[in-house]
Amino acid sequence: MRILISNDDGIDAPGIAALVDAAYPLGEVMVVAPDSAQSGAGHGITVTHPLRAKHYDFKTSNGRAVEAYSVNGRPADCVRLAVRMLIDGPVDLVLSGINKGANDGVCVFYSGTVAAAAEARLLGIPAIALSCQSEPDGVRFDRAGELAGPILAKLVDAGMEPGDFLNVNFPVLSKPEFPVGVCVARQNRAELHDYYEVLSDNGDETVYQLGRDYDTGHDGDDTDSHAMKNGFVTITPLRIDMTDHERLDRWGLMND
Ligand code: MN
């Protein structure tokens, strides 16, 4: 199995090294990832300037070396360029992460981590995005990586196929009692509770900073957000068809 790994925190982020370690036993691992942090990049792609791919000396925490390129683009650029140009032969699975910060609920719209997996889905390659909830001391990537290994092995054994586009989130891992289990759950659709800080205001110009702390809200007990807050590792199958099938009939009245 040939596995491409990307992320949105940048190729030198600790989370991607943890993911390479977790995926290493499953097959041949290659890395193509942004050369700088791209959190919140969503599914943006680079159209106004050329993309530059550079060989990168990638070593995991265990000293494992894998073929790697850094790209001066977005996560979706990395996956598309990798599959179209950088990697010879087929890619069987794309992994993205492990992101510093959860990507539950409507965060999937903003997340570059999820977008890298979505790009693979668009290219017909099975894909899994992995993210871990932040805590004040950072993210326990060592534990997230240890947990990711067996989960990835189980998903691969179950038979990942084109069309599979999974979003995995790990709960806060500094609590020894977490995770309490694995839970397949739907995406929370609640509105984000976020805020902007005013950094300066001279009367003519005001400078805002999006706050780091936000809450993904609650729209039911059967969601990824709710399960993650309660200590589960969540797995949410996502789709790229954004059609609102329930409203097709209602707006179908516009058909001539
Ligand atoms: Mn990120």
Q: How far is the CA of 8 from the centre of ligand 1 (A)?
A: 5
**pLDDT at res. 212:** 85
Q: How far is the CA of 112 from the centre of ligand 1 (A)?
A: 7
Q: How far is the CA of 203 from the centre of ligand 1 (A)?
A: 34
Counting Cβ atoms within 10 Å, is residue 254 exposed (0-12), middle (13-18) or buried (19+)? exposed
**pLDDT at res. 177:** 96
**pLDDT at res. 64:** 86
pLDDT score of 195 more than 90:
yes
CATH code of the domain covering residue 52: 3.40.1210.10
Residues 109-156 have pLDDT tens digits of 999 999 999 999 999 999 999 999 999 888 999 999 999 999 999 999
What predicted TM-score, i.e. pTM, was given to this entire model? 0.96
Residues 154-178 have pLDDT tens digits of 999 999 999 999 999 999 999 999 9
State percent of the chain over pLDDT 90. Answer: 93
Q: How many domains does the chain have?
A: 1
Please report whether residue 212 resides in a domain.
no
Please report whether residue 201 resides in a domain.
no
Please report whether residue 48 resides in a domain.
yes
State percent of the chain over pLDDT 70. Answer: 100
Using CA atoms, how far apart are residues 145 and 119, in angstroms rounded to an integer? Answer: 23
Report, as an integer, the average pLDDT of 213-224.
94
Please report whether residue 146 resides in a domain.
yes
In the predicted model, what is the mean pLDDT of the chain? Answer: 96
**pLDDT at res. 60:** 81
- Read off φ and ψ for residue 220, nearest 5 degrees: 150, 160
The residues with which 98 forms a beta bridge, in sequence order, are none
Please report whether residue 69 resides in a domain.
yes
Please report whether residue 211 resides in a domain.
no
Helix (H) or strand (E) holding 69: strand 65-71
Using CA atoms, how far apart are residues 198 and 80, in angstroms rounded to an integer? Answer: 37
The residues with which 167 forms a beta bridge, in sequence order, are 129, 236
Handedness of CA 188, 76, 146, 137 (dihedral sign): negative
Residues 16-69 have pLDDT tens digits of 999 999 999 999 999 999 999 999 999 999 999 999 999 999 998 778 899 999
pLDDT band for position 75 (50/70/90)? very high
**pLDDT at res. 96:** 98
Helix (H) or strand (E) holding 132: strand 127-132
Task: Give residue 35's domain range.
Answer: 2-189+220-240
Q: How far is the CA of 114 from the centre of ligand 1 (A)?
A: 10
Please report whether residue 209 resides in a domain.
no
Give the residue among 81, 92, 86 at the shortest CA–CA distance from 29.
Answer: 92
Please report whether residue 255 resides in a domain.
no
Q: How far is the CA of 107 from the centre of ligand 1 (A)?
A: 11
Give the residue among 89, 148, 86, 91 at the shortest CA–CA distance from 117.
Answer: 91
**pLDDT at res. 50:** 98
Using CA atoms, how far apart are residues 238 and 26, in angstroms rounded to an integer? Answer: 23
Using CA atoms, how far apart are residues 230 and 183, in angstroms rounded to an integer? Answer: 11
